[in-house]
Amino acid sequence: MTTAITRTDMTAQELRNAARSSRDSDAACRMLAIAMVLEGARRQAAAQSCGMDRQTLRDWIIRYNDEGLAGLSNRGGQGGKSRLDEAQQGRLAELVREGTDPERDGVVRWRRSDLARRMKKEFGVVLHERTVGDYLAVLGFRRLSVRPQHPKTDEETQEAFKKTS
């Protein structure tokens, strides 16, 4: 069973013109294949000339009938549902801005694995450290590494040592 092109808002020539001005090469190729079918070419020949299978052309014709030219472009992936909601992401950003407390957190500076452990403890959400890195990037944090400083550093003693050296 073949699927007819039921959309009549564009002629074959208009489809070719739209393909010519399109910045999406994949969609342009699909427009040309549909234009060939509108001109009376066999679907197998139209599909082969545009580098696709006849069944694939049929699927694109269905999307063209439903959505028009916009349906001929690739759709982005939907992605997975975020494991942290807005409030939890805000808390993660707050933790990073505040820094660590060595007494409470047991670390001098945050690593992604430490933040993942903290998210599990606070929210019960298990995150891989790479996922924590993705959340930090979305929140606008960049991976910067400063020279570590011991929490009990006495700067006056250091300055006095520099003067005597």
Q: Which one-letter amino acid corresponds to residue 13?
A: Q
Q: Could you tell me if 136 and 112 are in contact, meaning their C-beta atoms sit under 8 angstroms apart?
A: yes
**CA 105/CA 17 separation, integer angstroms:** 63
Nearest to 65 by CA among 5, 18, 13: 5
The model's pTM is 0.52
Q: Which helix (H) or strand (E) holds 97?
A: helix 86-98
Tokens 């994949």 found at: 26
**CA 142/CA 89 separation, integer angstroms:** 16
Nearest to 143 by CA among 135, 133, 153, 151: 133
- Work out the angle between the directed axes of helices 112-123 and 86-98 (0-180°, nearest 10): 130
**CA 46/CA 35 separation, integer angstroms:** 9
**CA 46/CA 40 separation, integer angstroms:** 10
pLDDT tens for each residue of the chain, 165 residues long: 467 899 989 999 999 999 999 999 999 999 999 999 999 999 999 999 999 999 999 999 999 999 999 999 998 877 788 899 999 999 999 999 998 988 888 888 899 999 999 999 999 999 999 999 999 999 999 877 677 778 788 888 888 888 887
**CA 15/CA 28 separation, integer angstroms:** 9
Phi/psi for 149 (5° steps) reads -130, 135
